[in-house]
């Protein structure tokens, strides 16, 4: 089971803060997972179309789309950070 978190403007655009799903067989990495999510939820396209506006973390570390996935991974999608 993958746990996926969404934060800030990404959370608002996808209209959820979290979801869980079984790691699909054809999903090997983050790029694949995004394709899968876009099939499940077409409205995700508004935020996932511009790579510069979305950051990805796997197990709380920022990664790129080539990052491989394992069952049990904690994934998060969020915009560039603006703390401080």
Partner 1 sequence: MISIQREDFSLEQEYQKLRTEAGDVGAIVTFTGIVRELYGGTGDKRGAAKTDTLYLEHYPGMTETSLANIVGAAQKKWPLLAVRVIHRVGELKPQEQIVFVGTASGHRQDAFDAAQYIMDFLKSRAPFWKKQSSGKDSHWVDARVSDAEALARWQDS
Give me the residues that bind partner 1 (CB under 8 A), please.
Answer: 5, 7-9, 12, 57, 60, 62, 76, 78-84
Residue-wise over 22-45: b if at least 16 C-beta within 10 A, else e?
ebeeebeebebbbeebeeeeeebe
| Closer Cβ to partner 1, 8 or 39, answer by number | 8
Q: Compare residues 35 and 59 and give the one whose CB is closer to partner 1.
A: 59
CB 70 → partner 1: shortest distance, Å? Answer: 18
Q: Between 24 and 73, whose beta carbon lies closer to partner 1?
A: 73
Distance CA 10, CA 12 (A): 5
């Amino acid at each position: 089971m993958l746990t996926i978190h969404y934060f800030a403007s990404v959370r608002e655009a996808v209209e959820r803060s979290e979801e869980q799903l079984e790691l699909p067989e054809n999903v090997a990495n983050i790029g694949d997972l995004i394709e899968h999510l876009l099939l499940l939820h077409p409205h995700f396209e508004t935020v996932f179309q511009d790579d510069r506006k979305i950051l990805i973390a796997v197990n709380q570390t920022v990664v790129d789309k080539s990052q491989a996935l394992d069952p049990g991974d904690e994934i998060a999608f969020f915009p560039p950070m603006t703390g401080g």
